[in-house]
Amino acid sequence: MKKGYSIIEILIVIAIMGILAGGILTAYRFIAKENVTRHLVAKHEQDVAVLINQLLKDVESAGFGIDIDTLNSETKIIDNTLVFPSLATREEERSGCWAAVVKEKDEEKYKLHSAILDENTESKNYMGEYCDLNPKDYWYVILNPSDKKNKCEGGSLCQCGIDVIYCDEQYKNTIAFYATKRNDYQYPQSFIVTYSLTQDNLPKECAPGTYNLAKTLGTQGKPGYQANQPVISCVFPNGFKVRAGIQSGSSISYQDSVSSDNIEKHNLKLFRICLILQVGGRQDTSSAQPQFSTDCGGGPTIDTAWWNNTGRWYRWKVIEQDIPLRNYQ
């Protein structure tokens, strides 16, 4: 193992720690996804945590590997729809991987290093497995650690070099984030994540009038587009909203939208996920109307006829969860 480290290597490590969401792309996220894939409906109270885990972990990876300009333009909360960019959510074998481009000792050549100082800084993919990257075979977003600007030409994806071992010198002292093996994906269009409500393919276990919380990956008309993949079923009407946690002084205020100014100044600290979902099937006793707290903006507005005829005969679980946005800091 190399014994000495240059100042620039140490600075790169510090920068990595500042712009990576350490520890969020773990094997636990993959295990949760497997469970959610099989069960979209909460039949029992204990199912709720399993159902929402995929959503929470996915949102926690918001902004992973994304340049500052794209964070500003593509992070949105509009009409209870959450939109954010992330290189981790495509879930290719190397999604979640990164490497620093640093000079080889005693050589004027640059290589991808996924562990600069020790194994504690080593890159892992979204399943918690160690990364195996080379400059030529994959497409990256390459960021300048100091300002998170995209070093790829045209602000797009690029390869780190034409050699399978060494990166081009123009990318020295940067951080390369794995995007894809596919050469037809477009950045950022193919890496946009959208969460919204839809009534398409609602399971039969759900109360009439409820919704699926669905994930859309990519942009319509662009390569890799995957629309309305159900994540959680039987969601209460208007029972999904997201609020932005904006830092003002020493306190956090919750807002219904997020501005590029909030992102540029690193004041966007978290997303608050607000969700009401059905637990179990129809019952003989009526339930109280579910309500969000003031931090979630109150509500939702409930149709009286639907509630009296349908909604009150089901049990509802209110979930409010703050998710820190480490990749936006």
Asked if residues 124 and 26 have their Cβ atoms less than 8 Å apart, the reply is yes
For tokens 């497997």, name the residue: 34
Specify the pLDDT at position 51: 84
The pair of structure tokens assigned to 210 is: 């409820």
Asked if residues 150 and 52 have their Cβ atoms less than 8 Å apart, the reply is no
pLDDT along the chain (329 residues), means of 10: 45 53 36 48 83 88 95 95 95 91 82 69 82 93 93 96 91 94 97 96 95 97 95 96 96 96 95 97 96 97 97 97 93
**Spatial distance between the Cα atoms of 276 and 319, rounded to a whole number of angstroms:** 6
Specify the pLDDT at position 28: 30
Specify the pLDDT at position 37: 41
- Cβ neighbours of residue 266 under 8 Å, at least 6 residues apart? 328, 329
Specify the pLDDT at position 126: 83
DSSP state of 127: T
**Spatial distance between the Cα atoms of 227 and 224, rounded to a whole number of angstroms:** 10
